[in-house]
Amino acid sequence: MLKFLSIRDFVIVDTLELDFSAGFTALTGETGAGKSILLDALALALGERGEAGMIRAGCERAEISAEFDSSYLPELQAWLNEQELDGDEGVCLFRRVLDASGRSRGFINGRSATQQQMRDAGEWLLDIHGQHAHQSLLRAEAQRALLDGYAGLGERVAQIGGLFRDWQTLRRRRLELSQNAAAIAAERELLQFQRKELEALSFNPAAWDEMQADYARLSHAATLLETAAFGVDVLSEAEMACLPQLNTLISRVQSGSEYDAALGETLQLLGSAQAELQEAVYALRHYQQRLDTDPQQLRELERDIQAVVDAARKYRVAPETLPQTLADIRARLDELGGDADESALAQQEQAAHNAYLALARQLSAARNEAAERLALEITAALQTLAMQGGRFAVALPPLPEGSAQGLETVEFQVAANPGMPLRALAKTASGGELARISLAIQVALSEVACVPTLIFDEVDSGIGGRVAEIVGLLLKRLGRRHQVLCVTHLPQVAAAADAQWQVSKSSRDGATYSRIAVLDAAQRVEEIARMLGGVNLTETTRKHAAEMLAASRSAG
């Protein structure tokens, strides 16, 4: 639901801030006062194309901000998370800035967004019906979704989508195998050989590190033994070895300490050094005893390491990535059908196709039944909207191959006048007719339509009297389930609204400004009286206006 709109320096609006409420709100005012500016501003905020001419004369830029309550739209929240455009929970903020050069910047929840992202997000939030954009009812996908929602077929469509994708995957694999049989057979044979070769290697990254460490130690065993022997010799066994020399020094310092206690600290340090050196001798001797110089083990390690190096060189990868290479080979074999032949794949494909067709045919039957009911309901509504003799139909053109949504497309069709052929809704000529048709569809589908805010422009074009009252009551009824805004010049429609805003314009210092005022009960009487009687209002006109408002309240 739209909660707040801020407009700065847009067309003839300098500053405008509006708080919105639920229900049906009518926008009224003199012709040319700028009633449609609000709709244009919303369209711009939600990603429609902008141009420099939209900026108020003398200003450098225009800025539109809109806040929506998105707490009841989990699909939108999931999309925002996926696009990294999420913000505060249950709130969706749009901001659009248009500068004098014609460049624009868009933001969703304070983060930079493309126009396409703004349009995509806006389709969850708001529909504008009339001679404007955001007419989701004209999109084939939206028409299908509305029919399926009307019939409660959403879950079944999702199941069919999964079956269709399974069938198509098997079909692609079978066709690939059939069309490139020789090449695929050769590739599969090579991959199977490579898989066996790498599986036989049994490469393990942890074992590889240990193997390299063992090889380094064994290949340098002689040098290591020589180093250990040299250390033992220098420390304790050579003629001038460190330990004997140190022992002699300790003996002499110990004797001297009997005459001078100051040598006691030196004696302690020498004792510690003697202990450390003795430990080093023990460690070196132990190392000599346990150092393995097995030439057979060295040869085996050399062989194993060479096998890994040869495999890595053959596959042009680092040894550490050989497991990933094996995984890639296995995955490619799965894509080629593993060890399966074309006949087995064809059987699997046929089974998947049969499963898809069985459920898709059930869906088609349910859609046909729902299409007839929906057509009758909307055709009946058109008769009350100055379209006597008009017809509405839901065509279900078949798809020879089917799709993830079933065996047919969905197309809303309308004949606006008696004797005219049915045509696709997207090709309906008159903007006023299209707005009224959209109104009839929205009322019929209000329980399943998920867009929370609906805006109607020119729904009252070419009508009046009793038909205008019916349009007003339909909008009021629609406002019970959605937030509805309607730009209207008919008092019958305005009187049916839960709230009424008056759009006016004035001149100051040679510039024109547009204003919107929220009307209270007394002001509504005056505004509806103006819509009924023009400039010179009479008490009779005001009484008539008050009666219309009272009748609308009782009808609601």
What pTM was estimated for this model as a whole? 0.57
pLDDT at 297 over 70: no
Cβ proximity of 440 and 377 under 8 Å: no
Cβ proximity of 157 and 150 under 8 Å: no
More confident residue, 211 or 7: 7
Residues 20-50: b if buried by 16+ CB within 10 A, e if exposed = bebbbbbbbbeeebbbbbbbbbbbbbbbbeb
pLDDT band at 242 (very low <50, low <70, confident <90, very high): confident
Q: 401-411 pLDDT, tens per residue?
A: 899 999 999 99
User: What local confidence, expressed as pLDDT, does residue 357 receive?
Assistant: 95
The SS3 assignment for 489 reads coil
User: What local confidence, expressed as pLDDT, does residue 294 receive?
Assistant: 59
- Mean pLDDT to the nearest integer, 498-516: 83
CA distance readout (Å), 229 to 9, 169, 287, 450, 485? 91, 69, 10, 86, 97
pLDDT at 284 over 70: yes
- Mean pLDDT to the nearest integer, 51-79: 90
- Mean pLDDT to the nearest integer, 495-506: 89
End-to-end Cα distance, the chain: 21
pLDDT at 342 over 90: no
User: What local confidence, expressed as pLDDT, does residue 305 receive?
Assistant: 75
Tokens standing for residue 517: 């005022």
User: What local confidence, expressed as pLDDT, does residue 273 receive?
Assistant: 86
pLDDT at 467 over 80: no
**Distance, CA of 63 to chain centre:** 26
Percent of the chain with pLDDT over 90: 26
pLDDT at 219 over 90: no
Name the amino acid, one letter, at 217.
Answer: R
pLDDT at 210 over 70: yes
pLDDT band at 394 (very low <50, low <70, confident <90, very high): very high
Task: Give residue limits of the domains in the chain.
Answer: 2-152+448-555
pLDDT band at 132 (very low <50, low <70, confident <90, very high): very low
- Mean pLDDT to the nearest integer, 119-139: 73
Over the chain, what is the mean pLDDT?
Answer: 83
Sign of CA dihedral 161, 167, 169, 175: negative
pLDDT band at 157 (very low <50, low <70, confident <90, very high): very high
DSSP character for 556?
-
pLDDT at 339 over 90: no
Look at 21-25, 435-439, 459-463 and tell me which has the smallest mean pLDDT. Answer: 459-463
More confident residue, 512 or 44: 44
pLDDT band at 350 (very low <50, low <70, confident <90, very high): very high
Dump the DSSP string for 395-410.
E--EEEEEETTEEE--
Look at 35-49, 364-378, 431-445, 478-492 and tell me which has the smallest mean pLDDT. Answer: 431-445
Q: Which CATH class is domain 2-152+448-555?
A: alpha beta
pLDDT at 446 over 80: no
pLDDT band at 222 (very low <50, low <70, confident <90, very high): low
Q: 66-89 pLDDT, tens per residue?
A: 999 988 888 898 899 999 998 888
Look at 48-57, 244-253, 427-436 and tell me which has the smallest mean pLDDT. Answer: 427-436
Cβ proximity of 233 and 227 under 8 Å: no
More confident residue, 36 or 272: 272
Cβ proximity of 433 and 389 under 8 Å: no
Q: 531-547 pLDDT, tens per residue?
A: 887 667 888 888 998 98
Closest among 429, 413, 409 to 421, alpha carbons compared: 413
Closest among 358, 350, 360 to 403, alpha carbons compared: 360
How many C-beta atoms lie closer than 10 Å to residue 6's C-beta?
A: 16
pLDDT at 550 over 80: yes
The SS3 assignment for 90 reads coil
DSSP character for 55?
B
- Mean pLDDT to the nearest integer, 443-454: 74
More confident residue, 366 or 203: 366
Phi-psi region of 419 (alpha: psi -120 to 50; beta: other; left: phi over 0): left
User: What local confidence, expressed as pLDDT, does residue 52 receive?
Assistant: 86
H helices within 102-139, ranges in order? 115-125
pLDDT at 134 over 50: no
Closest among 430, 421, 425 to 410, alpha carbons compared: 425
pLDDT at 420 over 60: yes
